[in-house]
Structure 1
C-alpha cells in the first residue's frame, strides 16, 4: 500500500528579551542562533537534507510548513489548524532554548519528532532540554507521543518508516473470510480471537469486514478457468525451480482460480488486507484445493494477507510489511533451547521477500502439506540473509523482536513446505519473553533485513510494548 506521508516542519527562533530573568538581564540564549535570519539560513540547509530523505522514500514523504515560532502563544495560534489537518507528524528543530513552552507542542495532537543538533553543526539550544522532555513524559506513560533524534538523519529516516507504517495502518481495511482462529491466546470457542479483533479496532483503528466461507465458495464457483488463469498457472509452473510430484494440474488450476476469486472479493469490498479461515474449517475439502498460492500472490502484489484467520498474526504482518515496505513471511515457529537456532515453517510464502520491485526468490511448486492438495509456494530463502523476527501477543500489549541470520532453507522436513532455519544470538531470552507474552499458539513473522528498530518504534508509538532481544 502506498500513501503520501505529510510531515510539518517547525523551527524555534530567539525572541528579544526584556526586563529581568532569574535575577539578571539576559544577553544570550542557548544555541548558535541569535537572530531570526540565522534560523532562516538553517531552514534552507535543512531543506536540502530533508530533500535527500524524500528521494530515499521515492517522494512518498513530503516535508512542508517551515514554520518559525518564538513563544507559547505562536505555537497555540497554529494548534487548531495543525490538529485538524491531514499531516501525519510534526518535525521540530529546536534552534533555541524552549523549556518554557515545549509542552505546548503536545496540543498539536500529532506525533512529534524533535531533531536536535549537538555534534552536527550548528549547535541547537534545544540540547538543554534534549531527552529530558522524553523522560518527563515517560513519568506519565506518554513518551509514545514524542520521538527524539540527535544528529542523525539516518535515525530520522527510521522514525519516518515507523510513522509511515502507522499511517498505512490507519488506512487499512481487512477482509476476513470465515470465522476466526479458535485458539488465539489459548482460549477455545473463538473467544480469544474476537477479543483480538476488538483490540485491533480500538488500539490501531483497523476496519474489518467479514465474509462467510459460503460467499467465498460462491465466488469461486462463478469464476471460470479463463485463458488468463491458464496463463498465470503456466507461467508459475514454468518458472519453478522444481515441481513436486504431489501437484495435480486440476487442483493447481483451481488454486489459481481461488486467487482470482479472492482478489475480486477484496476489490469489491474496497479492502487492502485479508485473511481466511482455511485450516480449521472444511473449506479445503469443499473446494478441493487450497488458498496457499493465492496468499503468496496477494502478498507479492502488496495486499498483506495472512493464514488461518489469525488476527493478531495479521496485525504483526501489517506492521512488519508496512515498516519494511516489502512482503513478509508468516509461519509456525519451532523452538529449541539446546541451540541458538529456530525454524519457521508454513505452506505459503511470498516470492518478493527482498522488495516489491526485486526479483522473485527461487521456489518449488508443491502442495499444502497436511492435505496434499492444491498449489503451494515453497519459497527458498537465501542462506546468510539477515532477518528480523517478531511475535506479537494476542492482546496486542507486547511484541518480542530479535534479529537472526538464515542458516538453512529448503530442508524438506516432514512439516509445512516452506522451512527456514535461522540463528539468533540470544534465543534463550527470546524464548523466555515469548513464554511470558505469547501464552499459547502464536505465528512468527520474518522479514528480510534488519528492521528491529523501526518495528520497535512503530509499536512504541502504538502503545505496544517492544521487547527487543
Structure 2
C-alpha cells in the first residue's frame, strides 16, 4: 500500500517570556502526543523535535519537508502562536493544509487556530481545520475527517506529473470517452502521450517466443478453464499474450502511469481483442510476479481511465475496474455492469493470493471477427466505490456511488445469460439501493469505474481540492 506522505510543523509563541512561562511545556507535551498518535495511522509522518517559533526556523523546517517530498501539510497549533508565522509556513509548503489545534482552555490554541485560519481565508488559501486533543471524549475527527482529507490531498498531489497513455483514438463514436489534453494539464497537471495501435502490433510481432510461451503457460495454468474452439485457438491466445507483453513494454518505455486503449473496432476486427492486456494490467500480477496495478480503460475512455487513476490513488494503490452501465434491473434493484471482454483479475476473488482470483476466471471466445479470448467472471461480492468524471458544458463533475457488488441469484443470472445469447461477457452486479430514476436522468456516461472499499468522503475532498462539482448518487 502506498501511504500518504505528511509533513507536520508545530508552531508556538515567538515571545521568549510567554513561551517559557506559559507555553513551552504545554507545546512539548502535545507535540510528542501528536507524533505518537499519528505514527499509528496510515500515513508516513515527517515532523520535528522542536517547535517553529521564528521565521528562520519555519523556513528551515518547511524546506526540509519539501526535500522529503511530502504531499500534505499539517500546521499544528497546540498553543497560541502568531498567525503570520503559520501563514508563512503554509505558503512555503504550497500544499493541501490542515490546521490542527485543541479545545483546552489552558492552551489558547483556539485563538491561534482561528487567527491563522482567518488569515489564510483572507488570502484565499483553502484549508481544513480540526480541533481535537487526542482523546475519545469528542467524536474522533482524525478518522472521520482528517484521514479522508489526507488521502484525497495526497492523491491530488500524486496526480501531478502523471503521464496518460492514449492508445488508438476515439472508439465506436463514444464522445464521452474523449478528452482535452490541455484541460487535463491545466486542471489535473496530467500530461498525455498519444500512441498508435500500430505500435502494439509492431512490438507484438517482435516479442521473443520464449517470453510469449512463459506468459501463455502461466495464464492457461492459472485460470479455471480455457474454452478453446474455432475462434479461441492456442495461436489466437498466444497472439493476445504477445500484444499484452508489447503493451507492457510500451508502458515501461514511455513511462506511462495509466492509460486507455481504443481496441474496437480496429483490433477486434483485424488483429485481436486486447482483453488479456487490460485484465492483467489492472490486476497487477502476471507470470513475472506482482507489479503496481496499471489502470487502463477500454474503448479509449480517457475520463474513465482518469477516474480509475484517482480511485487507485485514494485507496493506496488498489486495483481498479471499468465497466459498461449496461442494464437496469428495476425490480431486483441491481445495475448490471458487463465489460466488452475484460474484467480486472483481482475482482474475480478479491484475494491477496492471486492464484485464488485467477481460478475464478474462464477464458471464453470473444464474439469479434478476429476471435481470441475474453476474461469471463462474475466479480466477487463486497463493498465498492464507483466513480465517474464527466463534463457538462466543458466543466468537470464527478459522480460518486458507495455501494456493493452482490452475488446474483441463479434465476437472475440465468435470465441475463439467456437475454445476452451468444454475446456473453464478464459482468458485475451492483446493488442499486438508491434513486435509480435520478441516476438515469443525470449520469453522463455509458461507462463507470470502481474500486473495492468505501471512499466517498475521500472523493468529496478530491472534488473540493480540484474545484469539481460532486454528484453523489444515494
Q: Identify which of 337, 342, 363 aligns with 1:344.
A: 337
- Equivalent residue, structure 2, for 1:329: 321
- Equivalent residue of 2:169, what SS? coil
TM superposition score normalised by structure 2 = 0.79
Whole-Å separation in 1 of the counterparts to 2:26 and 2:235 = 72
The answer as to 2:305 corresponding to 1:314 is: yes
Q: CA deviation at 1:258?
A: 0.8
The CA distance in 2 between the partners of 1:254 and 1:157, in whole Å, is: 45
Aligned pairs (5 A) from 1:272-311 = 272-279=257-264, 281-287=265-271, 289-301=272-284, 302-311=293-302
**Is contact 1:200–1:315 with CA below 8 Å preserved after alignment?**
no
Aligned partner of 2:192 among 208, 213, 218: 208
Report the CA distance between 1:387 and its aligned residue. Answer: 1.0
Going from structure 1 to structure 2, the CA distance change for 1:129 and 1:378 (only over 3 Å counts) comes to farther
Displacement of 1:168 in angstroms is 2.8
Hey, what does 1:24 align to over in structure 2?
none
Instruction: Output the CA distance in 2 between the equivalents of 1:464 and 1:356.
Output: 34
Q: CA deviation at 1:111?
A: 1.2
For residue 463 of structure 1, what is the aligned residue in structure 2?
Answer: 467
Cα drift, residue 370 of structure 1: 4.8
Structure 2 counterpart of 1:13: 12
Contact 1:256 1:294 in 2 (8 A): yes
Deviation at 1:14?
3.6
Could you tell me which runs of 5 or more consecutive residues in structure 1 were left unpaired when the two chains were aligned. 19-26, 187-191
SS at match of 1:205: coil
1:392 aligns with 2:389: yes
Tell me, in whole angstroms, the C-alpha distance in 2 between the residues paired with 1:128 and 1:378.
60
What residue is the counterpart of 1:193 in the other structure? 178
Task: Kindly indicate whether the alpha-carbon contact (under 8 Å) linking 2:282 and 2:321 is maintained by their aligned counterparts in 1.
Answer: no
Structure 1 residue 50, shift from structure 2 partner: 1.9
Give the match for residue 164 of structure 2: 174
Structure 1 residue 273, shift from structure 2 partner: 2.0
Which residue of structure 1 aligns with residue 288 of structure 2? none
Aligned to 1:254: 239
For the residue of structure 2 that corresponds to 1:34, the secondary structure is: helix
Secondary structure at the aligned position of 1:349 is classed as coil
For the residue of structure 2 that corresponds to 1:160, the secondary structure is helix
Tell whether 2:430 aligns with 1:422. yes
The 3-state SS of whatever aligns with 2:406 is strand
Q: CA deviation at 1:271?
A: 1.8
| Alignment partners' CA distance in 2, 1:112 and 1:429 | 38
State which of 147, 150, 154 in structure 1 corresponds to 2:128.
Answer: 147
Deviation at 1:459, TM superposition (A): 3.0
> 2:23 matched to which residue of 1?
35
8 Å contact kept, 2:75–2:100? yes
Superposed CA deviations along residues 440-465 of structure 1, whole A, max 9, x for unmatched, are x4410121111221222223212222
1:132 positional shift: 9.9
Per-residue deviation, 1:17: 9.7
CA drift of 1:104 comes to 4.7
Task: Give the C-alpha shift of residue 335 in structure 1.
Answer: 5.4
State the shift of 1:429 in Å.
Answer: 6.8
Summarize the alignment of residues 128-143 of structure 1 with structure 2, pairs less than 5 Å apart: none
Query: For the residues of structure 2 that align with 1:433 and 1:69, how far apart are their CA atoms?
Result: 53
Preserved CA contact (<8 Å) 2:383 2:404: yes
Cα shift readout 1:175-228 (whole Å, capped 9, x = no counterpart): 222123474556xxxxx8242x2222211111211221222221112124x233
Q: Deviations over 1:65-113 (max 9, x none)?
A: 4662458x57875698479653322112221345844555542311102
What is the SS of the residue equivalent to 1:52?
Answer: coil
1:415-462 CA-to-partner distances (Å, cap 9, x unmatched) read: 561211121332337516734xx2xx4410121111221222223212
State which of 451, 457, 463 in structure 1 corresponds to 2:455: 451
Equivalent position of 1:270 in the other structure: 255
Residue of structure 2 equivalent to 1:403? 402
Tell me, in whole angstroms, the C-alpha distance in 2 between the residues paired with 1:326 and 1:134.
34
CA distance in 1, matches of 2:107, 2:328: 50
Which secondary structure does the structure 1 equivalent of 2:256 belong to? coil
1:226-277 superposed Cα distances (whole Å, 9 cap, x missing partner) = 2332232233223323334553222111111111111111111122322211
- The separation in 1 between residues aligned to 2:45 and 2:384, in whole angstroms, is 29
1:15 CA drift (Å)? 5.0
With structure 1 as the length reference, what TM-score do the two structures score? 0.79
Q: Distance in 2 between matches of 1:444 and 1:200?
A: 19
Q: Distance in 1 between matches of 2:6 and 2:244?
A: 37
Residues 337 and 417 (structure 1 numbering): CA distance in 2 closer, same or farther, change over 3 Å? closer
| Cα distance in 1, alignment partners of residues 108 and 189 from structure 2 | 37
Distance 1:464 1:379, change over 3 A: farther
For residue 21 of structure 1, what is the aligned residue in structure 2? Answer: none
